[in-house]
Amino acid sequence: MSRSRIVFTINSEEVDTMKKFKLTDLLIFIVTAELVGALSALFSGDYSSFYTDIKPPPLLPPAWVFPVVWAVLYALMGISAYMIWQTDDRKSGRSAALKLYYIQLALNFSWSILFFRFRLLGIAAAVAIILLLLVGVMILAFRNVKKTAARLNIPYFIWLIFASYLAAAVYILN
């Protein structure tokens, strides 16, 4: 009787999707991102009175919109970073993509403090534009590792376009 062997080949993308999902790790990534936003808001001081003190730009949404939008965006950021982290360590660009994620998260953290607490409107407008560019680079880096993770950051990128407009407009008008 002869033995036969069956050999399966699996490409690297399939290996990535085969890694075990860990809910605890996912929640750590989401909570970390949300915590960055919450701490930034806390250290920013009384931002609600800020809008009564300035000449508002056209298209400025009501104040309640910002925490709702940011909560969703931070959750998406956390999910996407978890997806990158879950990929194979040997995957090209994984480490660089995560470094970009953490750098943009730190820059994101600083923006509200510069804008609301210190009212450094020009610097905050410049930081908003730098953040927009950095997130664009991060999305490209994420795309090279896991396309779905990159796509989850598209709403963030679109919101940053709008936020950059608002920051620049507030600076110019005030």
Residue 116 has pLDDT above 80, yes or no: yes
pLDDT tens for each residue of 15-44: 444 468 899 999 999 999 999 999 999 999
- As a whole number of angstroms, the distance between CA 162 and CA 159 comes to 5
Higher local confidence (pLDDT), 49 or 149:
149
The pLDDT value recorded for residue 48 is 75
User: DSSP string spanning 74-134?
Assistant: HHHHHHHHHHHHHS-TTSTTHHHHHHHHHHHHHHHHHHHIIIIIS--HHHHHHHHHHHHHH
78 close to 35: Cβ distance less than 8 angstroms: no
What percentage of the chain exceeds 90 in pLDDT?
79
- Residue 88 — pLDDT band, cuts 50, 70, 90? confident
Span 136-163, pLDDT tens digits? 999 999 999 999 999 999 999 999 999 9
- pLDDT confidence band for 46 (50 / 70 / 90): confident
Q: Determine the pLDDT at residue 91.
A: 64
Per-domain residue ranges of the chain: 20-173
How many angstroms separate the CA atoms of 128 and 122, rounded? 10
Residue range 20-173, CATH number: 1.20.1260.100
- What is the end-to-end Cα distance of the chain in Å, rounded? 87
| pLDDT of 114 strictly over 60 | yes
CA distance 137 to 122: 23
User: What is the C-alpha R_g of the chain?
Assistant: 20
Instruction: Please answer whether residues 30 and 78 qualify as being in contact, where contact means their C-beta atoms are separated by less than 8 angstroms.
Output: yes
